[in-house]
Amino acid sequence: MNRFPRLFAMALIGFAGLAATALAGGPADSSSSGYGHAGWHGFAARHFQKCLASAGLSTEQQAAVDQIQSEARPTFQAGFAALKAAEDKLRNDVASGADKSVLGQDVLDKQAAMDKMKADHKEIHDKLLAQLHPDQQSAVESCMQSPSHGPRGGAGMSEAPTQ
């Protein structure tokens, strides 16, 4: 009964191949918001920036937010570099037909880089919200919960068409 290990190995290799293919684009360079997120994450970062701007920050608060974001930029850049390195290693190992244990470790390394980026993002998010008054915090949170309208600001699919 040698069938299960072979099926598991094929599933793992297939998953690694799909993950490598899906992530072939890699993260983009830093954006003007300082987050440098790509794809959906870039949209979420821009949405957060718009919500911050709509909260009516004082000049002191805006200066503190700008300072936090400029200090966070190297952290985010290092996180993206680590993620890109993990993705590249996974992609190269898949292409070279590496052993399933190597591919498994590559997937774990990539996940660890993503988890680190998520923790860094949450830390910066919490620092930014700490600069706001409670009413501003609730305004930002409700803005973030509101349905988004796509990266170009057009109507999203969640809205009913008007006739």
Residues written for the chain? 163
Q: Which structural domain, as residue segments, surrounds residue 41?
A: 3-23+36-145
pLDDT at 159 over 50: no
**151 three-state secondary structure:** coil
**160 three-state secondary structure:** coil
pLDDT at 17 over 80: no
Output the pLDDT for position 43. Answer: 63
- In this predicted model, what pLDDT tens digit does every residue of 118-133 receive, in sequence order? 999 899 888 988 888 8
31: in domain: no
- In this predicted model, what pLDDT tens digit does every residue of 36-95 receive, in sequence order? 444 445 667 787 888 888 888 888 988 988 898 889 889 989 999 999 999 999 999 999
Look up residue 148 and give its DSSP letter: P
102: in domain: yes
119: in domain: yes
Output the pLDDT for position 62. Answer: 87
Q: For the ranges 10-14, 132-136, 139-143, which has the lowest average pLDDT?
A: 10-14
Per-residue tokens: 36: 């440098």
pLDDT top residue among 48 and 147: 48
pLDDT at 100 over 70: yes
pTM over 0.75: no
Q: Where are the beta strands (DSSP E) in the chain?
A: none
What CATH number corresponds to the domain at position 116?
1.20.120
pLDDT at 155 over 50: no
Mean pLDDT of the chain: 74
156: in domain: no
Report CA-CA distances (Å) from 10 to 15, 102, 126: 8, 14, 42
Q: What distance in Å separates the CA atoms of residue 148 and residue 19, rounded to the nearest whole number?
A: 27
Q: What distance in Å separates the CA atoms of residue 60 and residue 67, rounded to the nearest whole number?
A: 11
94: in domain: yes
What total number of domains does the chain contain?
1
125: in domain: yes
Average pLDDT over residues 97-102: 90
87: in domain: yes
66: in domain: yes
pLDDT top residue among 20 and 76: 76
